[in-house]
Amino acid sequence: MLVDRYGRPVTHMRISVTNRCNHYCIFCHNEGIPRGSCGEELSWRDWGFVAEVAVSLGIKYYKLTGGEPLLRSDIASIVRAIREAGGSVSIVTNGSFLERRASELADAGVERVNVSLHSLNPERFARITSGDLGRVLSGIEFALNYGIPLKIDYVVLAWNLDEYRDIIGYAEEKGVDLNVIELIPLGMSVSEWRRLHVSLDPIVEYLEEKSSAKYIKEFQSRPTYRLPSGIEVTVVRGFCNPELCMKCTRLRLTPDGFIKTCIYRVADAINARKHIVERDYEAFKNDIARAVSLREPFFKPGAKYSVEELYGKLR
């Protein structure tokens, strides 16, 4: 198993398979990838090779993101290739193509799908995402009917904070777990972030009262509440949170084959594309090892941070 110099094992890989998307979410951070910077997308066979090498190094868990990953017509082939290499695969999607893709994803063996659902009000949903809420809700139904385990991702904004009880209730009705996610200042100006950012404290207080149990997930030290209905609600506070950083076990890959050590870091990205497409096993193995050697927590314990200072480093 790979371990960085801070003693953190590296067991997860978050792969952005495309920068393309049919939604235009106001808070989109594009996985920390500068817009317009990506070259040609890697093929599904390339991602199978990536997993083959990474699994041999102890990286078992793979999350496919975008952009919108279901825009790729070969997304099921990517899932299947990673599974055949020995990896566990989940997907993050806006849900608008789930109705079309649910059957093939189930056949390919996807182990979970996270669906972004930031409002249950059609007009507000469109304002936040430019998407069609009806298509997303229909996609959720299709995925559930095909037996795909689902989780809802709810990014909390000043515009939708008042919906947290309704969204938790919807998750309970469907029997799916929920991530409650604090807004981070990537992909927007600091003034926009300040306008839209709200504290998760009211939701946490509600969960403290409503939950039957609470525990801390090992991955990124995330507090998780088990509700009497049986679902779990995880609170994700990723900005200015050293505790989360110190428990991070993830590398990231861009659609064109760059390895990133952190969503907030750009300068230390490693160009591994040549080694991937040429199937140079040892060279790509070394690329991964080098990325692990560069990893460090973006937010460090005991340090003091101001949003303005940090935001300047993220631009």
Structural domain boundaries in the chain: 8-314
- Work out the pLDDT band at 199, boundaries 50, 70, 90: very high
Amino acid at 289: A
Q: Given this model, what pLDDT does residue 314 score?
A: 54
Q: For residue 126, which of 99, 98, 94, 151 has the smallest C-alpha distance?
A: 94
With cut-offs at 50, 70 and 90, classify the pLDDT of residue 309: low
> CA 279, CA 243: separation in Å to the nearest integer?
37
Rounded CA gap, 105 and 68, in Å?
Answer: 15
Q: Work out the pLDDT band at 188, boundaries 50, 70, 90.
A: confident
Say whether pLDDT at 180 is over 90.
yes
Instruction: Tell me what the mean pLDDT of segment 101-107 comes to.
Output: 98
Residue 150 has pLDDT above 60, yes or no: yes
For the chain, what is the mean pLDDT? 94
pLDDT one-digit tens code per residue, 14-55: 999 999 999 999 998 888 887 767 889 999 999 999 999 999
Residue 293's φ and ψ, nearest 5 degrees, are -65, -25
Query: Model-level pTM?
Result: 0.94
Q: What is the pLDDT of residue 230?
A: 97
Lowest mean pLDDT among 86-100, 124-138, 188-202: 188-202
What CA–CA distance (Å, rounded) separates 211 from 225? 6
- Residue 307: pLDDT band (50, 70, 90) is low
- Looking at residue 149, its pLDDT comes to 97
pLDDT, mean of residues 137-163: 98
**CATH tag for 8-314 (out of 3.40.30.10, 3.20.20.70, 3.40.1080.10, 3.40.50.300):** 3.20.20.70
Q: Nearest CA to 233 among 196, 181, 173?
A: 181
**Please, is 209 exposed, middle or buried when counting C-beta atoms within 10 Å of its C-beta (0-12, 13-18, 19+)?**
exposed
CB neighbourhood size of 234 (10 A) = 20
Q: Would you give the end-to-end CA distance of the chain in angstroms?
A: 33
Rounded CA gap, 178 and 8, in Å?
26
How do residues 1-12 score in pLDDT, each as one tens digit?
899 999 999 999
Count of residues in the chain:
315
Phi, then psi, of 268 in degrees rounded to 5: -95, 20
pLDDT single digits (tens) 211-221: 999 999 888 88
> In the prediction, which pLDDT does 313 show?
58
Closest CA to 161 of 209, 197, 126, 191: 197
Instruction: Spell out a b/e string for 16-29, using b for 16 or more CB atoms within 10 Å of the CB, else e.
Output: bbbbebbbebbbbb
Containing H/E element for 235?
Answer: strand 232-236
Cα 254 to Cα 15, 57, 91, 258: the distances in Å are 6, 19, 15, 5
64: tokens are: 């496919």
